Amino acid sequence: MRIGNTELKSGLILAPMAGFSDRAMRLTCRSYGAEYTVTEMVSAKAVTFGDKKTERIARIGDDEGAVALQLFGSEPDVLAKATEIMAGGVQGYAPPVAIDINMGCPVNKIFSNGEGSALMRDPDLICRIVRATVGATDLPVTVKLRAGVDREHINAVECALAAEEGGASAIALHGRTRVELYSGRADREIIANVNKSLHIPLIANGDITSAAEAIDMLRTTGADALMIGRGAIGNPFIFAEIKAALSGIEYTPPSVEERAECALAELRLAIEDKGERVAIPEARGRIAMYIRAFRGAAQIRAAVNRATSYSEVEYALHQAIINN
C-alpha cells in the first residue's frame, strides 16, 4: 500500500503514543522493521501559538525514514494552519511524510474540549477538518479513529467515509470505543466493516502483541497495514517477529543480552534528545517492559527506578545480563 509517496511493503506501523513514540522509540522500532512511524500527538492550537514544548515533540530526525506528524484539535481552520506550519517540519529537522489527525483520543481533557474521539460525534465536522487540512498541504492527510464513542454509537464506517470524502489518504482504526478505553479486545468485525466500505487504505490497530495476533488481524479484517502500539513498548522486536512470520521465515527471539543492550541503546537516543534528567525517569516504564521476563525482574526494575544517570542504568542492566 501507499500513503502519498511512501510505499509500505510489510505495512508495519508504530502507533502514535503520547509519552512513548518519541524519536528514540521510533528509531529503535525502525531498526527492527517498523516501516512507518507516527509522532506523539501534538496540539494544533499549540503549534499555531509557537509553543516550544510542542515544537520539541514535533521534531523528526533526518535518520528516521517515514514519520507522520499527528495533530489533535477540533477547528478546521486551526488544524489547517498548524498543518501549514508543520508540513515542512520543525526548522532544522526533517519534514513529516504525512499529517495524521487524532480522532480517537479518549482522555477526558481532550474529549471535553471536543477533540480526539469527541470528533466522532460529528462526521460532518470530520469531513470539514480533513478537507481544510488537505487544502493546506501537499502532504497526504490520514485520520486515526476508534470504533465509536460508545457501544450504542458505533459509527466508524460513517466517520471513515466522512474522512475519505474530505480527502484523507488512509484511515487507521483502533477497534474499541472511547468508553472502552483499553478494556476487552479490539473488535475485528468493526475494522473489517470499515475496510469493506472504504476505497482508501485501512490500517488495523488494537492488541497486536505477537505475530499470531498480527496474522489473525490481517486475516479477519483484510486490512492493508497493521499499527502496533503497546505491544512495541520495550519490545521493538515485535516488528521483526511479525515480518518474519509474514515472509514465512523462522524467527529467533532476542537473547537477554540483546534485550538489555537494546534498552540501553534506546535510552542513549532519548538522552541525546532530552538529556539524562528528562530521559531517565521517562525510560523507567519502557525498561521495565524490556526486562519483564528476566530472572530477578523486580530487583532490576527497582535498581533502574533508583538510577539517576545512564551509567547506573547500564550497571543494573549489565548485572542483569550476568545473572540471567
Ligand X SMILES: Cc1cc2nc3c(=O)[nH]c(=O)nc-3n(C[C@H](O)[C@H](O)[C@H](O)COP(=O)(O)O)c2cc1C
Which positions are annotated as active-site residues? 105
**Residue 39's Cα: distance from chain center in Å?**
7
Comparing CB distances to ligand X, the nearer of 12 and 316 is: 12
The identity of residue 275, as a single letter, is: G
Q: Which stretch of DSSP H or E encloses residue 260?
A: helix 256-274
- Please list the residues that pair with 43 across neighbouring strands: 72
Distance from first CA to last CA of the chain, Å, rounded?
A: 42
Assess contact for 98 and 130: CB atoms under 8 A.
no
Summarize as ranges the residues that interact with ligand X (CB under 6 A): 15-20, 40-41, 70, 102, 104-105, 144, 174, 205-208, 228-231
Show the 3-state SS of 26-77: HHHHHHCCCCEEECCCEEHHHHHCCCHHHHHHCCCCCCCCEEEEEEECCCHH
Helix, strand and coil content of the chain, in percent to the nearest 5, comes to: 50, 15, 35
d(CA 80, CA 117): 19
Task: Give the residue with the Cβ less far from ligand X, 57 or 316.
Answer: 57
User: In angstroms, what is the minimal distance from the CB of 38 to ligand X?
Assistant: 7
CB of 15 to ligand X, least distance (A): 3
Q: Are 118 and 68 in contact (CB under 8 A)?
A: no
Q: Smallest distance, Å, CB 126 to ligand X?
A: 14
Residue 24: Cβ within 10 Å count: 24
Give the nearer residue to ligand X in terms of CB position, either 70 or 320. Answer: 70
Rg (CA), the chain: 19
Q: How far is the CB of 4 from ligand X (least distance, A)?
A: 19
> Whose CB is nearest to ligand X?
229
Nearer to ligand X, 208 or 267 (CB): 208
For ligand X, the closer CB: 208 or 260: 208
Angle at 29 between CA 25 and CA 33, to 5 degrees: 165
If the CB atoms of residues 94 and 289 are measured against ligand X, the closer one turns out to be 289
Shortest reach from residue 311's CB to ligand X, in Å: 28
Shortest Å, Cβ 312 to ligand X: 25
Which residue, among 132, 125, 124, 141, has the nearest Cα to 74 in the 3D structure? 125
